[in-house]
Amino acid sequence: MSWCQTYTGIASWPLDPDKNTEDDISLEDIAHSLAHQCRFNGHCKEFYSVAQHSIIVANKVYDITGSQEARLQGLMHDAAETYLGDIPRPVKQLIPEFQLLEEKWIKKIFNKFGISYPMHTAIKISDDRMLMTEAHQIMSWPPA
């Protein structure tokens, strides 16, 4: 299988997370990668990163739960995209193997940073709300 190089120069095996040790997972790589990935497959009216989205989701989760642990889960809920890239939701839903791979990465990342898993239900709620809000605020008017 092929590997990819991260920002900090680590070899990452996107299709086989078990080949990577926890030492191969870097907060710097996660922050850098998500800050450079644009939401909505790059179709926003202006650049809006997955990192920006994650910070807002984390704060919304905290508003709902009052839990710092849930807030941290919200901040890191898209961290697997560091290693797999962001795929638009309609496409991702058609690829069950990708969803399983993404979950493996999330578990590995959460374990590395001592974040509990599974994620709080408020994360899905906040992520879905942000999807609608972001689409309305940063996308062109949808077709009829």
For residue 132 the two structure tokens come to 């609608």
**In this structure, CATH architecture of domain 4-12+24-138:** Orthogonal Bundle (1.10)
Whether the predicted pLDDT of 1 surpasses 80: no
Domain residues of the chain, as ranges? Answer: 4-12+24-138
CA–CA distances in Å: residue 10 to residues 65, 106, 139: 35, 18, 34
Give 26's DSSP letter: -
Alpha-carbon span 80 to 73, nearest angstrom: 12
Q: pLDDT tens digits, residue range 15-55?
A: 999 999 999 999 999 999 999 999 999 999 999 999 999 99
Asked if the bond preceding 118 is cis, omega within 30° of 0, the reply is yes
Q: In angstroms, how far is CA 88 from the centroid of its own chain?
A: 12
Query: Does position 143 have pLDDT exceeding 90, yes or no?
Result: no
Distance between CA atoms of residues 64 and 109, nearest Å: 24
DSSP lists the bridge partners of residue 12 as 4
Q: What is the pTM of this model?
A: 0.94
Separate counts of helices (H) and strands (E) for the chain: 7, 2
Its sign, for the CA torsion 116, 132, 47, 95, is: positive
pLDDT at 144 over 80: no
Give 143 or 132, the one with higher predicted confidence: 132
Secondary structure (3-state) at 4: strand
Token digits of residue 35? 């800050």
